[in-house]
Amino acid sequence: MKLKKNPNNPILKPHPTNYWENLVVCNPGVWFENGKFTMLYRAAGDDEQHLIRMGRAESTDGIHFNRCSDEPAFEPSTDGPDKGGIEDPRIVKFGEEFYVTYAYRPHYPGQYWKFEHDVILLPDVGADAPAVLKQNIANSGLAVTKDFKDWMRLGRITDTNLDDRDVILFPEKINGKYAMLHRPKQWIGEKYGCEQPSIWIRFSEDLMVWNEPSTLLISGRKGTWEEKVGGSTPPLKTPEGWLIIYHGVENGGKGYYRVGLALLDLNDPTKVIARATDFVMEPEHDYEIDGPYQGCVFPTGNVIVDDTLYVYYGAADKYIGLATCKIDDVLDYLKKYRL
């Protein structure tokens, strides 16, 4: 099974006259309610600092999006820990408020695609500065809004000195607790039971206090398309289980980012009850191959409308694409991989 890419892709491109988004638009969070799709997307201009912001766009059909403003919807703080850039929003809603997890850095990263792998710009600070600042470590934060216009930053929800991105909240409490997926990059080796950064799950009675132990959930498979893995979109509740869409990266070959599927038990999501061995989407087209990251499909938003699953993804770290599938087809496909 493969997700069907929309013929209008890329559905959102950089805006040539907006300084903050004239180079990159990608990795969007998406919410559907009352007949409207709201997209919050990662954006950057052609500045040397590569300062990353977020824009907002809306649609009635999920395909044709109109920008809501020529100005960013959410920006890095001027004097806070996310001063260096904010990226990769994932959206859930509790009550009347939207909770958005996002990755951030204390210092801008620079145009990373021009550097060696995993090299970014570092701030000019003294030897006594904390590691998170000296190493420009990426953390994850939480922000709340009712309208995607006015925001309240709630702060960091991951461990201080971990590069812990792909932090994604479940859209409802499970057994009275909040749940998150996260991918701490440094948690590898015999102590952690995984050879590559993996997807972990953690629970909390409070959205800002995540001090319960994490459980290893999904690890990479050596020698496959998914040697390294990370969470992608917010889990979706289905009759068969929590649908998890995640990304996998091969170590060898072209280093492509591809997309995998898994199901978690509804009542105990620490249990993986199905996981497909093959990917359902990979880079194929020029807009997915020619960009700052050459060969990347990276989902960050998904919704189910009627019987259709909409998956929104960043393409080559430059564009936004859409892929769809009947949700029943996805669940039938995963039944073949029940564990």
CA distance 101 to 243: 19
> Is residue 5 assigned to a domain?
no
pTM for the structure as a whole: 0.98
Q: Strand, coil or helix: what is 169? A: strand
31-88, pLDDT tens digit by residue? Answer: 999 999 999 999 999 999 999 999 999 999 999 999 999 999 999 999 999 999 999 9
Instruction: Find the radius of gyration of the CA atoms of the chain.
Output: 19
> Is residue 29 assigned to a domain?
yes
DSSP 114: G
Number of domains, the chain: 1
- Residue pair 37/30 in contact (Cβ under 8 Å)? The answer is yes
Per the structure, the complete domain to which residue 278 belongs is given by 11-335
> Is residue 176 assigned to a domain?
yes
The predicted pLDDT at position 76 comes to: 98
> Is residue 244 assigned to a domain?
yes
Residue whose C-alpha is closest to residue 256's, from 272, 232, 279: 279
- Residue pair 97/144 in contact (Cβ under 8 Å)? The answer is yes
**CATH code: domain of residue 187:** 2.115.10.20
Confidence of residue 262 (pLDDT cuts 50, 70, 90): very high
135-180, pLDDT tens digit by residue? Answer: 999 999 999 999 999 999 999 999 878 999 999 999 999 999 999 9
- Amino acid symbol at 123: P
> Is residue 4 assigned to a domain?
no
> Is residue 215 assigned to a domain?
yes
Q: Two tokens at 101? A: 């997890």
Provide the b/e sequence for 25-56 (b: ≥16 CB within 10 Å).
bbbbbbbbeeeebbbbbbbbbeeeebbbbbbb
> Is residue 291 assigned to a domain?
yes
Please check the confidence at residue 209 and state whether its pLDDT lies above 90. Answer: yes
Can you list the positions of beta strands (E) in 60-189? 66-67, 86-94, 97-104, 139-145, 151-156, 164-169, 178-184
- Residue pair 324/336 in contact (Cβ under 8 Å)? The answer is no
> Is residue 3 assigned to a domain?
no
Q: Can the peptide bond before residue 10 be classed as cis, meaning omega within 30 degrees of 0?
A: yes
